[in-house]
Amino acid sequence: MRRLNDIACVFRIQLAGMRDEAGPFLLAAIVFPSAMYLFANAVGGEAGAGDAARFRFLAGSIVFSLSLTSITWLGYLMLENRFTGRLKLFATLPLAPSSYVFGFLVFALAQGALSTATLLLVGRAFGVAVKPSLLPLALVVVLTILCLCGLGVVVAARARSFTEGSLMTDALGAGLVFLAPVYYGPEMMPVAMRAVSRWLPTTFAASAVETTLRGGSDVSVEVLALALTAALTLAAGFKLMKWRED
């Protein structure tokens, strides 16, 4: 019970901070992904794309939102805690490092649920006839958030300065989407890049999200890949995180 209370306290601290910084969160979680959907749909429309492309673009925008919030936004918050001295305050409390990280993960899951639900409504408003399989979609979103948060924790733990860490989380949050066949098919990529991009977590996430948005539930391969990635990245993040700076 004490561990759960510690996790809840970290979650509430981050939630209180988000109230004061709602603007950047809305940009990363909703505005930018919605704009990317409109841009991709406009370009795809000129190329004669139909409903199939709209599902791909909406799935890509949902993954884009999860990547920006889980890596860029939460990574920034962890970097801010680390390099402004807030982490030292957490470390002086009777608080385990795992409670600190799990508090962030719960916060990330809440953000992901909010952004995904909002983008589904945006998709309906833009004419995408989504009939999602809710349970498979929820599982895919949770695993995507966990593996991307793990990457954010690794960056926040290893960055040598706040500036370096911010640049890395910005690049990683957007790069994992733009370097994966999320808004376009893999056949449009160079062969060498295609071989690498197929193993990116955002590739598995986008494929699974698109399937569930169409009402399908056969995402076992993607779920397994995301679960393994989440386990690896979170384990690495826990191991590398400096609870007390040298």
Residue 95's alpha-carbon distances to 74, 76, 172, 195, 219, in angstroms, are 20, 21, 29, 43, 37
Neighbouring residues of 150: CB distance < 8 A, sequence distance ≥ 6: 229, 230, 232, 233, 234, 235, 236, 237
> Per-residue pLDDT tens for 10-23?
888 888 877 777 78
pLDDT score of 45: 60
pLDDT score of 48: 47
The answer to whether residues 136 and 48 touch, using CB atoms and an 8 Å cutoff, is no
Residue 39's alpha-carbon distances to 9, 33, 206, in angstroms, are 40, 10, 17
pLDDT score of 241: 77
Beta-strand ranges (E) seen in 149-192 are: none
> Rounded to whole angstroms, how far apart are CA atoms 70 and 230?
12
> Rounded to whole angstroms, how far apart are CA atoms 68 and 203?
15
pLDDT score of 243: 61
The residue type of 8 is A
Rounded to 5°, angle at Cα 14 from 87 and 229: 80
Q: And the tokens for 11? A: 């979650």
Averaged pLDDT, 58-84: 89
> Rounded to whole angstroms, how far apart are CA atoms 105 and 83?
20
> Rounded to whole angstroms, how far apart are CA atoms 154 and 71?
10
The residue type of 182 is V
pLDDT score of 244: 58
Averaged pLDDT, 105-133: 90
Residue 71's alpha-carbon distances to 68, 110, 137, 168, in angstroms, are 6, 15, 20, 9
Give the percent of the chain with pLDDT over 90.
39
The answer to whether residues 106 and 183 touch, using CB atoms and an 8 Å cutoff, is no
Question: For residues 242 and 68, which has the higher predicted lDDT (pLDDT)?
Answer: 68
Q: And the tokens for 161? A: 């300065």
